[in-house]
Amino acid sequence: MPETNEKKRPAASAFAALMMGSKKNGGGTKSAKQQKIEAAVEIGNKDIEAVLQQLGALPATAFTCSIISKGRPKNVQANLALFKGTGVVPTFIIGKGETEAYKKNGATKCIEGGGLCASRNAAIELVSLAPQIPLAHVTFFSTPVSHNRLFFQAKEEGNICLEMSDDLSQCKVLHQDIAWERPGDLSEANALAKATPQHLVAPGNAAGYIEVQMREKGAKLGGVYCTQNEGQAMNSQAVSEEAFILGDLMVIDPESTPRFDEKMSLKEDYDLTAQHLHLYGNVLRSNRVVIQAQHYTNAGGAVADRTAVKEQYNIAVMRHKWPGVFPQHTTRGENEVNMRWGSRSKLLGGKKDVPRPDAPEGWEDLRAVLKDMPDMADEENAKPEAVVEEKAASEVAAEVEAAPAVQAVE
């Protein structure tokens, strides 16, 4: 073969490869991979609509979709491709001064947010501040919901908040019409996943599948399975009501009270889940919706702020606010946690004698942070006084000395 001076194209991530060869990056035509994905999503959307109608789910246009993004304008075209043919145009909530770059890459609706949690809250307010459309006026699966003028720069497309990460590349629904029975082991679960009808769908249709189950259970926060492993998903019951809701795709009732804690820079989705569990008693994780996202490796976004020091600080904040709920993850290292709502402290209405660790240095008083949650702010008044009085001062001092300390980090 004759030698050539042509430089070999460097390997790209799966997400970057999604748009390789597209008109937007000068390649002239869409890549074969992109064409294949779009065709699969088109088929999946048509197939899932029959399921959604049977379940009484809302159409994709019933959701106001916001994509939380920062420093990733090159992801815009791949993001928009996920919504092709649904009548939904997402709003990009982005960093300060990034509007021009995002619009240059194809975004038509942009709002400059702030930090990660401020941007996430802006997505909820985008819906909660807008005039609400009675569901009786929503036409299911035929014509888009009528647009109302919104605050900021966006237009209202629905009553329910759908927010997602800008590095989400795939939504898949594994739907069974038959009753689920727990597989004997993971091999059987993997086989069950392969045998279950799988629908590659747009985010709005995934949200519809989640939201109808939220209504059934009375939850105000919903989401997807926590990993990309379809076998593990099928090894779990169809829904979980006390499980962590992953921030990569969240369905949020805008009339709910909790908001993302803007003093946190990471693990804010864990904290919002805990707020909903404490206030409303449940959340809704659909273990039949599986997504793919690259939030640990895709440059920009929260990844740019992800350091061990910041991870530990935010973990300390969560353990201070939610004692007993967030033990260290058993296999994924010191910067990861498990969520165990059933292990919450008696201070939170649980059954465990778990003291509240001190707040990390710089964290404001708990009552100021949770001023809208009086039941937690007044928890000290709820302690059984008789038990406290029976203890000698030396015993109380010993307990304080033995309480697990949280290392302050800067």
The confidence score (pLDDT) of residue 295 equals 59
HEC letters along 147-165: CEECCCCCEECCCEEEEEE
Decide if pLDDT at 394 tops 90.
no
**pLDDT level of residue 248 (50, 70, 90 thresholds):** very high
Residues 246 and 223: beta-carbon distance below 8 Å: yes
Look at strands 198-201 and 110-112 and give their pairing. unpaired
What gap in Å lies between CA 77 and CA 67, rounded to an integer?
Answer: 12
Q: Is pLDDT of 20 > 50? A: no
**Binning pLDDT at 50, 70 and 90, where does residue 401 land?**
very low
Q: How confident is the model at residue 329 (pLDDT cuts 50, 70, 90)?
A: very high
At residue 129, the pLDDT reads 58
Question: pLDDT at residue 364 above 60?
Answer: yes
pLDDT band at 368 (very low <50, low <70, confident <90, very high): low
pTM beyond 0.85: no
pLDDT of residue 36: 80
Q: What span, in angstroms and rounded, lies between the C-alpha atoms of 22 and 115?
A: 31
**Is the pLDDT score of 261 beyond 50?**
yes
Domain at 16-306, CATH class: alpha beta
| Percent of the chain topping pLDDT 90 | 59
- Longest Cα–Cα distance in the chain: 90
The backbone torsions φ and ψ at residue 354, rounded to the nearest 5 degrees and listed phi first, read -110, 115
Q: Which of 40-44, 274-278, 349-353 bottoms out in mean pLDDT, i.e. has the lowest?
A: 40-44
Rounded-to-integer distance, Cα 135 and Cα 179, Å = 30
Which span out of 19-23, 48-52, 270-274 was modeled with the highest average pLDDT? 270-274
Percent of the chain with pLDDT over 70: 71
Alpha helices in 283-381 (DSSP H): 308-321, 366-369, 374-377
> Which residue, chain included where needed, has tokens 């307010």?
125
Higher-scoring residue by pLDDT: 329, 306? 329
* Mean pLDDT score, 115-129: 86
pLDDT band, residue 17 (cuts 50/70/90): very low
Contacts of the segment 13-20: beta carbons below 8 A, 24+ positions apart: 13/294, 13/297, 13/298, 14/169, 14/294, 15/75, 15/78, 15/167, 15/169, 15/294, 15/298, 16/74, 18/78, 18/81, 18/169, 19/74, 19/77, 19/78, 19/81
Q: Rounded to whole angstroms, how far apart are CA atoms 376 and 359?
A: 15
Say if residue 153's pLDDT is above 70.
no
Range with the lowest mean pLDDT among 14-23, 303-312, 385-394?
A: 385-394
pLDDT exceeds 60 at position 370: no
Ordered by start, the domain boundaries in the chain are 16-306, 323-402
Answer for the pair 289, 173: CB distance below 8 angstroms, yes or no.
yes
What pLDDT score does 30 carry?
64
Instruction: Report the mean per-residue pLDDT for the chain.
Output: 78
Residue 235 has pLDDT above 90, yes or no: yes
| Structure tokens given for 29 | 């035509």
